[in-house]
Amino acid sequence: MSDSDGAEPLSSEELERVPVFPLPNAVFFPATDLPLHVFERRYRRMVEDCITQECSAIVVTLLERGWERDYEGRPAIHEIGGIGRIVGHQRLADGRHNILLRGVSRVRIEEVDAGTLPYRLARATVLEDRGQADRTDVQALIACAAPIVAAVRREHPEFGLGVDVGDPPGVVADRTADRLLADIALRQRVVETLDVGERLRIVTEAVGEIMAMLASRSKSRLLD
């Protein structure tokens, strides 16, 4: 799969009519990468259109609960999601695609008429981070996550958070959430939280709960 180093900023024209990729189990954060295997006919068409028309921006948004009842139609979706660009693409012989999206920003979407297209389109409004966070809060999150990262590295030596204490606090929270938080509802809560200090608090508490769970399991094994 080809890959580029970064994602270009989004233009106002792109934000007016951007393809929407609703998924039941994926939340897309800014400053992260999301690999996707695209096999449904309508989304294969979406990727083909993006590649041939050089419109590489796509919004990934989470499907609302109950999506199974109308999945082939237009099930309800969360209005806040992540927008990114296709920075890696592999077209398979049978028409499927492997793509790599690189997150650019949070967006609030409002669906627009897609005409005869089989996939959905939306007008996207970029959501900027709000508030401030103390550098000590960033350090606390990284320190809290470090034992988890070390545990994962015992099985996957290449694993890492991809963050540094000097990174913007919002980026640290987003990348840590992307790498360590599995609960979809919690991930959606993080992506919807614009206040950076609150976002850091949510992620730090969640990582702390993971640490407590791992410690409890380790203690149980020692007692067995």
Count the alpha carbons within 13 Å of 61 in the hemisphere toward its beta carbon: 28
Q: pTM of the full predicted structure?
A: 0.91
Which residues sit opposite 34 in a β-bridge? 101
CA–CA separation, 135 vs 175, rounded Å? 16
Distance CA 73, CA 79 (A): 17
Contact 203, 190 (CB under 8 A): yes
Is the pLDDT at 43 greater than 80? The verdict is yes
Q: Name the residue ranges covered by the structural domains of the chain.
A: 12-127, 135-223
Mean pLDDT of 39-63: 94
Give the pLDDT band (50/70/90) at residue 221: low
Mean pLDDT of 189-216: 94
Q: Are 104 and 47 in contact (CB under 8 A)?
A: no
- In our burial notation (b when 16+ CB lie closer than 10 A, e otherwise), range 42-59 reads ebbbbbeebeeeebbbbb
Q: What is the mean pLDDT of residues 29-38?
A: 97
CATH top-level class of 12-127: mainly beta
What is the C-alpha to C-alpha distance for residues 94 and 90, in angstroms, rounded to an integer?
12
pLDDT in tens, 125-136: 999 999 999 999
The pLDDT, as a whole number, for residue 4 is: 42
Q: Residue 5: is its pLDDT beyond 60? A: no
Residues 6+ apart with CB under 8 A from 11: none
- With CA atoms as reference, report the closest residue to 210 among 146, 160, 148: 148
Digit-coded pLDDT (tens) for 163-202:
999 999 999 999 999 999 999 999 999 999 999 999 999 9
